[in-house]
């Protein structure tokens, strides 16, 4: 049997010595493995590993009626045994259900968790909570919420197009000009949710280059495009891509370079949009000169780009990051309209794509929408939900109205937060605010394996295994490799799988059998594989038997014979293969969106000035902060490991700053700097470079939030988490998505004494606490 494991960042052979994993060797089919995975080896047993269930001391001593919730994030923890922990959680869930109903439990539990189909933390927690009557959920993602809500109005769907888009194979063979808004960041293609068999992004882009594809990268950051493809780098002011795209549309219209037949046959609403381009109602023609002033790109460049696009087979790649900014609904919509004007949608290598290399998945060329079984979720009888990034609003304003996709809803009153497989103190914006409103619920429960900011801000912490400590199956509808993940070592301490944690709570609540249906983890995995095998057979793929799969360790589904092209069937026959929009066509103007009447999301793509961008600077000291995905880890995962730690500057997260901006502020390479705005401040280490647009800073996400509990330094995060600076503001009334990339800050050399980063230090733990008192107050 092969000793394989799988992660979001690759598949590995593992080696053990004395019962501990000591080496991970990349899988033989993966010629471009990443180093990210090696980061786990030195933290499996690190001081940040949680080895026993923990309860926050004042919560334990005071009981749920007197919990000193303001101490969340600065309190000591008491180590307890599993029986006590299961009882505490079971009793508290029951108390809240009895007193307030299931909607008072918030368990959106957003996050990436780990690869492995069965031990997927969210699948487990959601199934469990459905068994006990449901929970308030979240909808959409932090990745691209604005697109998830907007795109169905425009092309009928989003996910189906982004995960199944025109493949690299089609680009390599057919594209002449590849224009990438936000680049093609290979750093992001290192990962793929649910497991990666083979990394394809670098090979693909190099093959395209070799085949003569010309790349243009439109981004504030040069490294968003690989140096080896000789791309043209066009710098753009952050958050202004919509203006650029609209001006490109204007120039195509003005020069009669657009495909009127395509617009006629496949779209609705161009007449209204062309009025907007001309400025019929607002008196502003959306010319290249107009956009030049907004985007800081010369009008000549814009005109030239329009002509180039119209005279070549052009692929427009629209980075997911464009949706994580104020009015993030607009860039993709505008991009689709531009592609429609070029008339190449549905042709090989032409049209639009959403974020090539945003993950390893994007642009692959194998069977789409494979029917891979999930752990059955049951039914959630609770209706209440929030758009995922509105969590702080929900906690702050229970009962208040919010808008979402044409309707108005109310925020529920949350008493328990239960998180498994995500890190809200990584992913949410304006962490000072989140920390404040996080004190409101009665109880916060977190399942996780390490002492990151979310476990430190919990009341009850239930320690989980890592993937190396359990068996599972890597099978994802987005990757063609199936991998039998073997348990490589025993769990550290008394860590349990999420499934066993929930089973224990279920026992206390009298629902264990309903939750497990009499299966243990092994029996569930066999069941999920067998269900998948059956449905894949109906789909035209014969999978080996489960036992043969376990014996062999892995297998793969072959790539498609023909390069995949999105919307090719729609192009072939727009009546038979109509889109799932009200008109059945691409909606350049949406009557439905018009009916919503949102000022911040008009019925056709529009340039709306963001609340924070370089054009809204109050003084020249302000810079635009981008906080992109980290190259050396996945979000906050493994930030404490050797690979990520090796990039820190005196323990602080690095920040990229242009040499000019650094010089005017007296900042030298390697200096510790303070970055601040009205929402917060953090320390980080400056990396002075040429290849970032002046006026723009870049700080990756993922540094573990490290609040200064003493208050001595006066900063919100000692380590360098950009989310103490980012705004907690919805993209618009339509999607209410996160808008982290719209953020102005100032920066200065740190004049204070050196600050010790404590992000990777465990909280104070009381070894064996008093017997828990559990007064049942409410």
Ligand X SMILES: Nc1nc2c(c(=O)[nH]1)N[C@H]1C(S)=C(S)[C@@H](COP(=O)(O)OP(=O)(O)OC[C@H]3O[C@@H](n4cnc5c(=O)[nH]c(N)nc54)[C@H](O)[C@@H]3O)O[C@H]1N2
Q: Of these partners, ligand X, Mo ion, none, which one is at the site of residue 107 (CB under 5 to 8 Å by kind)?
A: none
**Cβ 214 to ligand X shortest distance, Å:** 18
**Cβ 663 to ligand X shortest distance, Å:** 22
Residue nearest to Mo ion according to CB distances in the complex: 143
Dihedral (CA of 488, 494, 497, 503) sign: positive
Q: Of these partners, Mo ion, ligand X, none, which one is at the site of residue 605 (CB under 5 to 8 Å by kind)?
A: none
Strand partners, 26: 12
| 419-458: contacts with Mo ion (CB under 5 A) | none
Catalytic member of 9, 12, 112, 750? 112
Strand partners, 11: 6
For residue 345, how many other CB atoms are within 10 A of its CB? 26
HEC per residue, 300-364: HHHHHHHHHHHCCCEEEEECHHHHCCCCCCHHHHHHHHHHHHHCCCCCCCCEEEECCCCCCCCCC
Dist. CA 700–CA 153, nearest whole Å: 32
H or E element: which one contains 77? strand 77-79
Provide φ and ψ at 606, rounded to 5°: -145, 150
For residue 723, state whether it binds Mo ion (rule: CB under 5 A): no
For Mo ion, the closer CB: 38 or 143: 143
Q: Which stretch binds Mo ion (CB under 5 A): 138-146, 150-158, 359-367, 636-644?
A: 138-146
Catalytic member of 110, 233, 524, 589? 110
H or E element: which one contains 516? helix 512-516
Contacts with ligand X by CB under 6 A lie at 110-114, 119, 121, 142-143, 181-183, 185, 187-188, 190-191, 218-221, 224, 236, 238-239, 241, 319-322, 324-325, 355, 358-359, 420-423, 426-427, 447-450, 452, 464, 498, 626-631, 634-637, 701, 722-723, 726, 740-741
- 9 is an active site residue: no
For Mo ion, the closer CB: 52 or 122: 122
Count the site residues for Mo ion by CB under 5 A. 1
Token couple for 245: 């795209």
For ligand X, the closer CB: 347 or 697: 697
- 110 is an active site residue: yes
For ligand X, the closer CB: 192 or 343: 192
**Cβ 191 to ligand X shortest distance, Å:** 4
For Mo ion, the closer CB: 321 or 367: 321
For ligand X, the closer CB: 358 or 762: 358
For residue 190, state whether it binds Mo ion (rule: CB under 5 A): no
For residue 143, state whether it binds Mo ion (rule: CB under 5 A): yes
**Cβ 411 to ligand X shortest distance, Å:** 21
H or E element: which one contains 587? strand 586-587
Q: Of these partners, Mo ion, ligand X, none, which one is at the site of residue 763 (CB under 5 to 8 Å by kind)?
A: none
Dist. CA 593–CA 271, nearest whole Å: 17
For 678-768, strand residue ranges (E) read: 680-689, 696-698, 744-749, 765-766
Provide φ and ψ at 725, rounded to 5°: -105, -25
Provide φ and ψ at 509, rounded to 5°: -90, 5
Angle at which helices 241-254 and 299-310 cross, to 10°: 60
Q: Of these partners, Mo ion, ligand X, none, which one is at the site of residue 741 (CB under 5 to 8 Å by kind)?
A: ligand X
Dist. CA 35–CA 202, nearest whole Å: 15
Q: Of these partners, Mo ion, ligand X, none, which one is at the site of residue 250 (CB under 5 to 8 Å by kind)?
A: none
**Cβ 743 to ligand X shortest distance, Å:** 8
**Cβ 336 to ligand X shortest distance, Å:** 16
For ligand X, the closer CB: 196 or 550: 196
Provide φ and ψ at 94, rounded to 5°: -65, -40
Q: Which residues bind Mo ion (CB under 5 A)?
A: 143
Q: Which residues does the annotation mark as catalytic?
A: 110, 112
């Amino acid at each position: 049997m092969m000793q394989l494991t799988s992660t979001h960042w690759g598949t590995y052979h593992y080696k053990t010595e004395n019962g501990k994993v000591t080496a991970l060797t990349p899988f033989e089919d993966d010629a471009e493995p990443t180093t990210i995975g090696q980061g786990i080896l030195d933290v499996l047993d690190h001081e940040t590993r949680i080895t026993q269930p923990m309860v926050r001391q004042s919560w334990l001593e005071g009981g749920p009626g007197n919990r000193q919730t303001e101490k969340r994030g600065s309190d000591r923890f008491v180590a307890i045994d599993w029986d006590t922990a299961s009882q505490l959680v079971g009793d508290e869930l029951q108390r809240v259900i009895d007193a307030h109903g299931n909607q008072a439990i918030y368990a959106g539990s957003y996050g990436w968790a780990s690869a492995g189909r069965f031990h997927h933390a969210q699948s487990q927690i959601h199934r469990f909570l459905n068994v006990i009557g449901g929970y308030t959920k979240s909808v959409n993602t932090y990745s691209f919420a604005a697109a998830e809500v907007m795109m169905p109005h425009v092309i009928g769907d989003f996910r189906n197009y982004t995960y199944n888009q025109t493949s690299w194979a089609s680009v390599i063979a057919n594209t002449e000009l590849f224009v990438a808004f936000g680049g093609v960041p290979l750093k992001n293609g290192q990962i793929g949710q649910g497991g990666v068999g083979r990394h394809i992004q670098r090979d693909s882009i190099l093959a395209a280059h070799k085949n003569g594809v010309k790349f243009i990268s439109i981004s504030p950051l040069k490294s968003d495009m690989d140096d080896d493809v000789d791309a043209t780098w066009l710098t753009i002011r952050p958050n202004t891509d919509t203006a650029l795209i609209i001006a490109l549309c204007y120039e195509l219209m003005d020069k009669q370079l657009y495909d009127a037949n395509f617009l006629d046959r496949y779209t609705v609403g161009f007449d209204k949009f062309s009025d907007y381009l001309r400025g019929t109602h607002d008196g502003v023609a959306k010319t290249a000169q107009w956009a030049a002033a907004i985007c800081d790109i010369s009008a000549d460049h814009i005109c030239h780009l329009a002509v180039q696009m119209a005279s070549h087979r052009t692929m427009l790649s629209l980075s997911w990051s464009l949706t994580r900014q104020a009015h993030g609904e607009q860039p993709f919509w505008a991009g689709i309209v531009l592609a429609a004007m070029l008339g190449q949608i549905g042709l090989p290598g032409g049209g639009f794509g959403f974020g090539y290399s945003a993950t390893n998945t994007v642009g692959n060329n194998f069977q789409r929408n494979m029917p891979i079984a999930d752990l059955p979720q049951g039914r959630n009888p609770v209706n209440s939900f929030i758009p995922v990034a509105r969590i702080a609003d929900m906690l702050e304003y229970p009962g208040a109205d919010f808008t979402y996709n044409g309707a108005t809803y109310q925020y529920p009153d949350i008493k328990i937060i239960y998180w498994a497989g995500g890190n809200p103190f990584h992913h949410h914006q304006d962490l000072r605010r989140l920390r404040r409103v996080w004190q409101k619920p009665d109880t916060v429960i977190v399942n996780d394996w390490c002492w990151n900011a979310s476990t430190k801000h919990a009341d009850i912490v239930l320690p989980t295994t890592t993937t190396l400590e359990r068996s599972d199956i890597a099978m994802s509808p987005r990757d063609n490799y199936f991998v039998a993940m073997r348990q490589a070592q025993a769990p550290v301490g008394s860590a349990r799988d999420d499934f066993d944690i929930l089973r224990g709570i279920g026992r206390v609540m009298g629902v264990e059998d309903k939750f497990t249906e009499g299966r243990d983890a092994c029996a569930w995995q066999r069941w999920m594989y067998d269900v998948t095998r059956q449905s894949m057979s109906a789909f035209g793929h014969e999978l080996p038997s489960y036992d043969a799969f376990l014996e062999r360790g892995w297998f793969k589904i072959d790539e498609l014979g023909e390069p995949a092209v999105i919307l090719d069937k729609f192009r072939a026959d727009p009546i038979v293969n109509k889109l799932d929009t009200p008109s059945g066509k691409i909606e350049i103007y949406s009557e439905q969106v018009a009916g919503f009447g949102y000022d911040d999301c008009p019925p056709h793509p529009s340039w709306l000035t963001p609340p924070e961008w370089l054009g809204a600077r109050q003084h020249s000291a302000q810079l635009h902060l981008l906080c992109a995905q980290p190259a050396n880890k996945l979000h906050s995962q493994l930030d404490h490991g050797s690979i990520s730690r090796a990039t820190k500057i005196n323990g602080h997260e690095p920040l990229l700053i242009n040499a000019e901006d650094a010089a005017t502020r007296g900042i030298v390479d390697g200096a510790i700097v303070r970055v601040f705005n009205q929402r917060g401040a953090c320390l980080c280490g400056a990396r002075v470079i040429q290849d970032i647009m002046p006026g723009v800073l870049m700080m990756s996400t993922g540094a573990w939030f490290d609040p200064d509990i003493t208050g001595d330094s006066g900063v919100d995060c000692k380590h360098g988490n950009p989310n103490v600076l980012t705004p907690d503001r919805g993209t618009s009334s339509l999607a209410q998505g996160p808008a982290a990339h719209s953020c102005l800050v100032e920066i200065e050399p740190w004049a204070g004494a050196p600050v010790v980063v404590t992000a990777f230090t465990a909280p104070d733990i009381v070894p064996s606490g008093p017997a828990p008192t559990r007064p049942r107050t409410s």
